[in-house]
Structure 1
Amino acid sequence: MSHDPAIPPAPRPGGEGFRALDAGWRQWIAENRLRHCTAESMLATMAQAGLDPAECERAIRAMEEDPAFLAARKFQQLNAKLASVMANQQRLRELDPLYGHVEKRSRVSPAEFMDKYVIGSRPVVLTDVARDWPAMRRWSPQDLRERFGHLEVEVQAERSADPLYEVNKLEHQRKTRLADFVDRVLAGGATNDYYLTANNEMLGRPGFAPLLDDIGTLPAFCDRSQLARRASFWFGPAGTVTPLHHDTLMLCHTQVVGRKRWRFISPLQTPLLYNHFEVYSPVDIDRPDLARYPLFAQATVLDVVVEPGETVFLPLGWWHQVSSLDVSLSFSYSNLAVPNEYRFDNPRITNW
């Protein structure tokens, strides 16, 4: 049995001191039956919430003949077919004995990159992309402070107290001088409480243009003319975590200072990740709650540590969770010279 959706808020009292079985509870019954929860488990939950057991039992039986519920059952069958197609395609991919290994490659030709990693939809770590980048010799927290410390940046802060800090990232935006943020990172130790992420959009400002000058040769599959408007800068302490989500385009992410651990899950396994809201999964790969999210136990997680000078290629739609193992400076860019704008019909369910 999968977990029950959130219990509806308490309505006005019903008869004989019981809570009223209102529309919220009737929707709850429908959702739980669609999740194949048993009538017995539902009755126990509802009785514990103060509802009349006899009325609840009648409502559960009646739901099986409700026209709207029967229509939902038809759409559930269609959705189950799509999920089974995805699962079977994933099984075929996992026949590859190297499926669970994220390759580290150099000297990948544009044709091979396109065929094996873009069209083939496989993450890879390219080890030679940044070999001539001035950033590899120059970038450091101290360099940021010296060259750009007087400039204001937008960071995420006070993340530790919010389990949904990435979903609520706009609420965590704070402005600060870069010098002050550098000092905070260097003095604060490992933490997930603050992070300068791609959302800062600082590379579009003239004052930070020298950072783009520190980017050397790009892979042949990238369009240099689009770099300035399709690049992002990341800086933060060890301990930062970007929770499990997928992007809506493909990108490269070059690690300049420090190491990051990347975990990937195929987009074909999306039905296992409880993606109820936008591009996010509530599952924490480090501490998965299998009582609440039991399907995640079936997911295959690919794991790789990316070292300074290495570049992750993130294929379209792949789920990923990223953890900084050290103080980290990274540069990401989505200016691939291939179609890189895609539409996802994302759910916006907030009460599951």
Structure 2
Amino acid sequence: MYSQEQMLYFSTNLLDWYHTHKRDLPWRRSKNPYYIWISEVMLQQTRVDTVIPYFHRFIDQFPTVEALATAPEENVLKAWEGLGYYSRARNLQNAVREVHERYGGIVPQTKEEISSLKGVGPYTSGAVLSIAYNKPEPAVDGNVMRVLSRYFLIEEDIMKPATRTRMEKLARELILEGTASDFNQALMELGAMVCTPRSPHCLTCPVMAHCSAREAGMEEALPIKKKAKPPRPELRAVALIEGTGENEGKWLIRQRPQEGLLARMWELPHVAWEPEGWLSDEENKDVLRKALADQEQIIIQPGEWFMDTEHIFSHIVWKMKVFRAKLTSLSHPTNGGEWIPFHYRWVGPDELQQYAFPNVFIRIMKEWQESNE
């Protein structure tokens, strides 16, 4: 379908460009498959500049397969805090545990074995096998599909599985013998640095001469990508419950359920908003007070509105109003005072490092600290 001249030109010129222009990234300094695996999971939906410090801290804390496999999950989530998509961290640890138990701590070198690990899809398996082991496997992500769509003028929706399958086949055919590691990284690099989503830098592209999209004047129209549904908005009212007495300067936090969204992470108490929209501040506070009392047996005295913020997931966005509050009672009193269920804690600013929070709650607590300085 594509000429051998066009394909050979692409592969050789891309490799020559990469050897001269590749970025010095920490995971490129080693062929350790464990490190490469971690970097690839972190880089999904996250910018390189953001990932670099996380990568360094993560491998310092969990330098080996065994270290990550045997670490408490809360430590792993804490190390991941700020990267988002926490299911990636859980899946990574679960898969690493499989490697530790089934493969003696050695990351598998076959497509069948590595693809059987939890959370390891075609892209991650291809990236690890090619980059770490130089296996001729494609690693097709968004950057790669954009480059291939433009260079080969592929006018098919890249969100369709059939299009991805076609591009994986094409990418495999482009890998010259013995070059899989560098070729796949070069392809990713070109998409990240030159063949960018908007305003591609065509004049500095090493394969511009045979780029079909540029010849057709379609470089900015490709790739074809069906727009995903925007995340569904959900209103949430948050209680920033401030401690008194021996808990002065602390907040009440709770742990989320064992399963589901943000499982086992910590957060400020909050409730899904039943009214169709926000009410007046006084009415909002009254609804929040009643909802916490009904759902959590937390009795609070709501105070002033503190801030509005939001937390974006892939499919929903929490639109949040935060109210300062004081605790009146929590669950059932005992002879020793208030009984705090296992999933509630009083924490101060110096204790936050012990708990893994979604970023939005860290942001709220930092705003509180700054407002009280």
- TM-score category (smaller protein): under 0.3
Q: What is the TM-score of this pair, normalised by structure 2?
A: 0.23
Q: What is the TM-score of this pair, normalised by structure 1?
A: 0.24
Q: Which is helix-richer, 1 or 2?
A: 2
Higher relative contact order (CA 8 A, sep 6+): 1
